[in-house]
Homo-oligomer: A and B are copies of this chain.
């Protein structure tokens, strides 16, 4: 796999090229941090954008690696997405930038846009692998601690694969980039960092009192989301 992103005409960054990120390791770092993807599918004559859990197999069967999403087999967007060109966008918000003018207010973020032909995953082994990856992306190590999925559960779940080949990434960090005259006027400028925090595990009312929080859940709570 190439270590750089190779934008095509569809993913080439036109505006704000100073924010373009060309390193494939940064793409994978973002995809590892983020928990939700926004999947765009054309339904009829307009786009529909839906939030979805996802996972990545950098060594997956698609060019550039594979991004997996899953959903109900009855979901219309999954039916529409099969064999269609979709867009998967993953964004992490890192801060609010308080510029010295309205124009220079901004946000700190990392964002990846992936465009590719969605493939409905039919191979049972790849489907199982993808579903394990999605659970482990939420809570690392968890899939190995759970009972096997039943045939009925697997039959109810559709898995889509999107190649990571056509991807572009943008990122912004730090404080404002202001007009010289606003800086010279001695106005305050800076930014507010944003972080996502995982709280302590909340046990449900159906868990017997003597059952301890599993190690994987406990470990997840100790890490930044």
* A residues neighboring B (CB under 8 Å): 10, 14-16, 35-36, 38-51, 53, 71-72, 74-76, 84-89, 91, 93, 96, 98, 100-103, 105, 107, 109, 111, 113, 115, 131-132, 134-135, 138-139, 142-143, 146-147, 149-150, 153, 156-157, 174-176, 178, 182-183, 186-208, 211-214, 217, 220-221, 225
Contacts and interface: CB of A to CB of B under 8 A. Distances in A.
A40 to B, nearest CB: 4
Contacts of A100: 146
A8 B71 CA distance: 22
B211 A188 contact: yes
When all copies of this chain in the complex are counted, the total is 2
A142 B47 contact: no
Given A36-B93, A195-B196, A87 B220 contact: no
Given A40-B48, A40-B87, A109-B51, A220 B192 contact: yes
Contact of A86 (B46, B89, B107, B187): B46
Given A189-B203, A193-B198, 19 more contacts: A14-B75, A15-B71, A16-B72, A35-B107, A46-B84, A47-B47, A48-B113, A49-B49, A49-B88, A101-B147, A102-B131, A102-B149, A186-B211, A187-B207, A187-B211, A188-B212, A188-B213, A192-B217, A193-B200
